[in-house]
Amino acid sequence: MIAYVTFGADDIAAAKRFYSAFLPALGYGLTEGPEGLSYVLPVDPGQTPVSPDFYVKPTFDGRPASSGNGTMVAFEAHSQAEVRALHAAGLAAGGTDEGAPGFRAAYGPHFYVGYLRDPQGNKVALFSSDPNEPSRDG
């Protein structure tokens, strides 16, 4: 199981604007401090934490942050409408479009996804795969 994912960022304020535009809608709470941003799903007392956590931090070595070629993190939305809304929110908060929300021929008929780049250039997917919603096949 993946416990957490970390992206490096040179501009933590820009990263906060971007990720806070959609992660709270997916249930993530934000804690921030000198070490950066920590987005974590809430845990009721006595319950097991839900993974993965998502962190945005300055680089440990002090060199400029960079995005990984072929690296992406995907967040599951509750519906196709939420994918569209959160993709738009990410764009409005400083992200760039890497693929408008919709179906892709290479994926299953219910996999509805939109892609963004955060202000640092990291790739993010927002997807829904609810079989009760319309599919690529109609």
Is the predicted pLDDT of residue 83 greater than 90, yes or no? yes
All structural domains of the chain with their residue ranges = 4-128
Is the predicted pLDDT of residue 82 greater than 90, yes or no? yes
3-class SS string, the chain: CCCEEEEECCCHHHHHHHHCCCCHHHCCEEEEECCEEEEECCCCCCCCCCCCEEEEECCCCCCCCCCCCCCEEEEECCCHHHHHHHHHHHHHCCCEEEEEEEECCCCCCCCEEEEEECCCCCEEEEEECCCCCCCCCC
**Average pLDDT over all residues of the chain:** 95
Look at residue 92 in the predicted model and tell me its pLDDT: 98
Is the predicted pLDDT of residue 51 greater than 90, yes or no? no
> pLDDT tens across 93-127, in order?
999 999 999 999 999 999 999 999 999 999 999 99
CATH topology for the 4-128 domain: 2,3-Dihydroxybiphenyl 1,2-Dioxygenase; domain 1 (3.10.180)
